[in-house]
């Protein structure tokens, strides 16, 4: 009897050891990655699969592992860890890709499931346009040509812009995100047409230096750039004799379809002698200008030219049916001259 009991115990022990040895091998090390799509918030396609090219990048023995997807919905097996989905091309005919939700990078756990949803929208047809209106000095319209410098004055400009809707689509009043770049060229002409010193502009990028009438629904961003490169507040910009510097500002606003806006840009403000640079206290609420220039020490008859133009484009969810009027031609030049010495 004791002998039989020993045999039974031996068999049970072998089984326990065998199960323990096999147990870890049954634990999953991969998860499931699902990829779906929507069109205007509704699952796409309504049945079957739709052609979309995308990539899934994640961990693996030869990381990074890249999986090329060609349709939705679809599912894949992937090692546990972070996976990133990136849209490549395709989707509903005529639709615009918007984003990936809930996030383009997600973590899949062993035995778990994550879902990437590629979102598309049917774009609204609109027509974005912009024209140059007039140069202004201290807000007063002035013609192209020569204008004397008065310390403290601001050289500004006005543009008219808007996003016209498709009447049959009844988009009037709908909000649209608008991106715009406005340029002005600054050309140092020296002293009375002869070689003069390098002038120095300071970056202010005051938030209130660009505004619309009527006010934009929102103003989202404003970035000063020089020759196309972003510049920080308080940066000094050298302007040598007989060289042209491109002073730009890039802004993003929310506007209403069917509303015409007058956009005002305070380009350059001329500091009075001994005045603190606006760039030093722009964070305190200055609304004066994008750039400024210190006129202290001018000997008289220093001159510079400015020309300006602008381009506009609409954001995601909209398609511009007439890109030919997205940019306006260069304006006629305005020439600022310093008729008297400035201490």
Comparing CA positions, the residue from 30, 90, 84 lying closest to residue 56 is 84
Instruction: Say yes or no: 38 and 149 in one domain.
Output: no
Q: Is the peptide bond before 73 cis (omega within 30 degrees of 0)?
A: yes
Q: What are phi and psi of 168, to 5 degrees?
A: -65, -25
1 falls within a domain: no
The rounded distance, in Å, linking the Cα atoms of 259 and 165 is: 10
Name the nearest CA neighbour of 127 among 184, 167, 84, 82: 167
Using CA atoms, how far apart are residues 32 and 94, in angstroms rounded to an integer? Answer: 31
Residues 171 and 312 in one domain: yes
Asked if residue 184 lies in contact with residue 210, where contact means CB atoms within 8 angstroms, the answer is no
Residue 25 falls inside a structural domain: no
Residues 300 and 182 in one domain: yes
Q: Is residue 44 part of a domain?
A: yes
Does the pLDDT value for residue 25 go beyond 70?
no
Residue 91 backbone zone (phi > 0: left; psi -120 to 50: alpha; other: beta)? left
Q: What is the pLDDT of residues 269-281, one digit of tens each?
A: 988 766 655 544 4
Residue 342 lies in a domain: no
Asked whether residue 223 falls in the same domain as residue 317, the answer is yes
Structural domain boundaries enclosing 54: 30-121
269 and 164 together in one domain: yes
Q: For residue 29, name the pLDDT band (cuts at 50, 70, 90).
A: confident
- Give dist(CA 291, CA 158) in Å, integer: 16
Portion of the chain with pLDDT greater than 90, in percent: 66
Q: Is the pLDDT of residue 298 over 90?
A: no
Single out the residue in 64, 87, 121 at which a domain terminates.
121
Name which residue leads in pLDDT, 64 or 279: 64
* 332 and 190, same domain (yes or no): yes
Q: Which of 309, 329, 327, 229 is nearest to 265 (CA)?
A: 309
Q: What is the β-pairing status of strands 236-239 and 154-165?
A: unpaired
| 195-216: pLDDT as tens digits | 888 889 999 999 999 999 999 9
Based on the fold, state whether residues 174 and 72 are members of the same structural domain.
no
Q: Answer yes or no: is 7 within a domain.
A: no
Asked if residue 248 and residue 268 are part of one domain, the reply reads: yes
| 117/131 same-domain check | no
Q: What is the pLDDT of residue 341?
A: 65
Q: 99 and 243: one domain? A: no
Mean pLDDT of 54-67: 89
CA distance 189 to 298: 14
Q: Residue 24: inside a domain, yes or no?
A: no
Of 92, 121, 150, the last residue of a domain is 121
> Residue 47 is part of a domain; what is its CATH number?
2.60.40
pLDDT of residue 191: 86
Q: How far apart are CA 199 and CA 196, in angstroms?
A: 9
- For the segment 252-263, what is each residue's pLDDT rounded down to a tens digit? 999 999 999 999
| pLDDT, position 309 | 97
Sequence-ordered list of residues with C-beta below 8 angstroms from that of 15, at least 6 positions apart, any chain:
none
**Residue 339 pLDDT greater than 90, yes or no:** no
- Helix/strand/coil for 41: coil
Split at pLDDT 50, 70, 90, the class of 230 is very high
What's residue 149's pLDDT?
87
The reply to whether 38 and 92 lie within a common domain is yes
End-of-domain residue from the set 121, 144, 167: 121
The bridge status of strand 113-121 relative to strand 30-39 is: parallel
In the predicted model, what is the mean pLDDT of residues 144-163?
93
136 and 163 inside one domain: yes
Q: Is residue 117 part of a domain?
A: yes
- State the chain's mean pLDDT as an integer: 86
What whole-number distance in Å separates Cα of residue 209 and Cα of residue 217? 17
Cβ–Cβ contacts within 10 Å for residue 191, how many?
Answer: 17
- The DSSP bridge pattern shows strands 113-121 and 145-148 to be unpaired
pLDDT recorded at residue 231: 96
Specify the pLDDT at position 327. 97
- Which tens digits make up the pLDDT trace of 4-17? 544 444 444 444 44
pTM of the model: 0.71
Which range in 162-171, 188-197, 312-321, 333-342 is most confidently predicted, on average pLDDT?
312-321
pLDDT of 271 reads 81
Q: What per-residue confidence (pLDDT) applies to 18? A: 45
Domain count, the chain: 2
């Amino acid at each position: 009897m004791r002998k039989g009991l020993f045999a039974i115990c031996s068999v049970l022990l072998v089984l326990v050891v065998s199960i323990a040895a096999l147990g870890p091998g049954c634990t999953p090390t991969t998860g499931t990655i699902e990829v779906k799509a929507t069109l205007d918030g509704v699952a796409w396609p309504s049945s079957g699969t739709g052609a979309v090219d995308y990539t899934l990048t994640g961990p693996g023995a030869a990381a990074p592992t890249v999986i090329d997807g060609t349709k939705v919905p679809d599912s894949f097996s992937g090692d546990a860890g972070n996976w990133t989905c990136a849209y490549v091309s395709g989707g509903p005919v005529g639709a615009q890709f918007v984003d990936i939700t809930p996030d383009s990078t997600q973590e899949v756990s062993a035995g778990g499931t994550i879902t990437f949803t590629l979102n598309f929208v049917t774009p609204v047809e609109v027509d974005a346009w912009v024209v140059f209106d007039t140069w202004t000095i201290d807000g007063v319209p002035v013609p192209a040509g020569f204008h004397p410098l008065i310390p403290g004055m601001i050289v500004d400009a006005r543009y008219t812009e808007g996003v016209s809707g498709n009447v049959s689509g009844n988009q009037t009043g709908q909000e649209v995100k608008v991106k715009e770049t406005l340029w002005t060229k600054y050309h140092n002409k020296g002293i009375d047409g002869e070689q003069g010193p390098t002038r120095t502009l300071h970056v202010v990028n005051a938030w209130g230096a660009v505004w619309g009438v009527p006010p934009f629904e929102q103003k989202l961003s404003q970035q000063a750039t020089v020759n196309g490169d972003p510049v920080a507040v308080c940066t000094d910009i050298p302007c040598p004799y007989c060289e042209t510097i491109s002073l730009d500002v890039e802004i993003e606003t929310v506007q209403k379809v069917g509303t015409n806006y007058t956009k005002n840009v305070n380009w350059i403000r001329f500091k009075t002698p001994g005045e603190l640079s606006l760039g030093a206290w722009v964070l305190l609420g200055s609304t004066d200008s994008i750039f400024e220039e210190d006129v202290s020490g001018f000997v008289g008859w220093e001159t510079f030219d400015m020309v300006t133009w602008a381009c506009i484009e609409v954001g995601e969810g909209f398609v511009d049916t007439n890109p030919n009027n997205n940019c306006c031609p260069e304006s006629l030049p305005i020439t600022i001259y310093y008729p008297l010495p400035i201490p």
